[in-house]
Structures are given as structure tokens and as C-alpha cells.
Amino acid sequence: MSEPTTRGTQYHIKIKGAPDQFISDWYSGITIIPQENAETLLVGQFTDQPALRGFLEQLWNLNFTILSFQRIETESR
């Protein structure tokens, strides 16, 4: 018998600038990946839409420019 497959949603948020490590500490589960041209990719999962919105609002409050936003469906066993 095979193991059940679970679906999840991962978000890739590219911002202009380089945030401090505090973003990862402030919102556990966010991976910070430096990119070229002083851009940063933030990768993570959120428990629900209000958590995602709160994170995006916090980026806005910190004056980060969101360059792209991508929702990625994942499957795991």
C-alpha cells in the first residue's frame, strides 16, 4: 500500500534589497536566498491566507519592493 500524498503551497517572493536575518527569525520557516542585482528570494509556507497577507504587509511596512510573487503547489509523500 502506498503512503498518502499531501499537498502544500509554497510561496516564492522576490524583493529588492537584502533583508537582515531577522526576517527568518521573525517568521520561522522563511528561507532567504540572495540573488543577483541586489535582489533576494524569500521562500516559505504560510498556515493560511491571513498569515501570508500579514507577512506581505510587514514587507511593505519595512519598505521592501516586491518584484515578483509565485505560488507553487507541492506534493510530498
The residue count for the chain = 77
Give the residue among 30, 35, 1 at the shortest CA–CA distance from 18: 35
pLDDT of residue 4: 47
Residue 28: what pLDDT? 75
Kindly state the greatest CA–CA separation across the chain. 50
Q: What is the pLDDT of residue 20?
A: 74
- Enclosing H/E stretch for 27: none
Taking the chain (77 residues) in consecutive chunks of 10 residues, what is each chunk's mean pLDDT? 60 90 74 91 91 92 93 75
pTM of the model: 0.79
